[in-house]
């Protein structure tokens, strides 16, 4: 009889665990679906140049850690569209998004460090973030990294490394200089 109760307790614990697990998974699924819907609403508003409503949709998502919302709000703060330009806030939001793997946030953060506009210029950080984005396959960062190696900005000048990144950029379909015949032959 004692074995029966031990077995019953173990089975009951397993069932309780499974119910809690299923509940947690369902919660995550449904809450992420709602977050995705709000993010999409923000995109719809921004495509209509209705940045006030886009900000309204993205702000709570950004506060919850949504990397897409953080990137887009960073861009809005960087460019001062729909609200006052704030490069410190743009940097903060880009960092949050970039740390989660958003390649556009990594690229923009790197360019902010490269330019040093509104934040301290830091070539090491610029190269770090742009390279991270380029290595993830973002063509604009690949091109920017080519320029960085061509000019020796924060790295030792290296034409061979620059050419590698230019080729990757063009191979991905990004060519900011279509009328330069030499660039097209790379």
Question: Buried b vs exposed e over 101-130: b needs ≥16 C-beta within 10 Å?
Answer: ebbbbbbbbbbbbbeeeebeebbebbbbbb
Query: Is pLDDT above 80 for 64?
Result: yes
User: In this predicted structure, what is the pLDDT of residue 26?
Assistant: 47
In the structure encoding, which two tokens stand for residue 45, read together? Answer: 């508003």
Looking at residues 46-68, what average pLDDT do you find?
A: 95
Query: Is pLDDT above 60 for 124?
Result: yes
- Note whether residue 28 is domain-resident: no
Provide the pLDDT confidence category of residue 131 given band limits of 50, 70 and 90: very high
CB within 8 Å of 18: residues ≥ 6 apart = none
Dihedral angle sign, alpha carbons of residues 73, 76, 82, 83 = positive
Report the chain's terminal Cα–Cα distance, integer Å. 81
- Note whether residue 22 is domain-resident: no
- Residue-wise pLDDT for 133-147, tens only, equals 999 999 999 999 999
- Residue-wise pLDDT for 87-118, tens only, equals 999 999 999 999 999 999 999 999 999 999 88
- Residue-wise pLDDT for 144-184, tens only, equals 999 999 999 999 999 999 999 999 999 988 888 766 544 44
Same domain, 76 and 128: no
- Residue-wise pLDDT for 23-39, tens only, equals 555 444 544 444 445 88
pTM of the model: 0.77
Domain that holds residue 73: 36-100
Query: Is pLDDT above 70 for 21?
Result: no
- Note whether residue 59 is domain-resident: yes
Q: Are 136 and 152 in contact (CB under 8 A)?
A: no
Report the number of distinct structural domains present in the chain: 2
**Angstrom distance (rounded) from CA 165 to CA 148:** 10
Dihedral angle sign, alpha carbons of residues 117, 121, 123, 125 = negative
CATH number at residue 91: 1.25.40
Same domain, 87 and 140: no
**Bigger pLDDT: 184 or 17?**
17
**Phi then psi dihedrals of residue 156, to 5 deg:** -70, 135
The C-alpha angle 128, 129, 135, rounded to 5 degrees, equals 90
CA 15 to centroid of chain Cα atoms: 39
User: In this predicted structure, what is the pLDDT of residue 34?
Assistant: 45
**Angstrom distance (rounded) from CA 125 to CA 100:** 16
């Amino acid at each position: 009889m004692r074995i029966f109760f031990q077995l019953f307790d173990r089975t009951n614990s397993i069932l309780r665990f499974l119910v809690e697990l299923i509940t947690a998974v369902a919660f995550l699924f449904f809450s992420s679906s709602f977050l995705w819907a709000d993010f999409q609403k923000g995109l719809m508003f921004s495509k209509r140049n209705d940045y006030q409503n886009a900000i309204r949709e993205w702000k709570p998502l950004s506060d919850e850690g949504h990397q897409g919302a953080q990137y887009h709000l960073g861009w809005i703060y960087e460019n001062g569209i729909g609200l006052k330009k704030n490069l410190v806030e743009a940097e903060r939001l880009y960092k949050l998004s970039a740390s989660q793997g958003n390649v556009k946030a990594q690229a923009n953060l790197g360019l902010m460090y490269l330019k040093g506009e509104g934040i301290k210029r830091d070539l090491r950080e610029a190269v770090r973030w742009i390279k991270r984005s380029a290595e993830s396959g973002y063509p604009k960062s690949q091109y920017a990294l080519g320029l960085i190696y061509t000019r020796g900005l924060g790295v030792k000048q290296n034409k061979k490394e620059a050419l590698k990144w230019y080729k990757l950029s063009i191979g991905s379909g990004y060519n900011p200089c279509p009328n330069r015949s030499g660039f097209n032959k790379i």
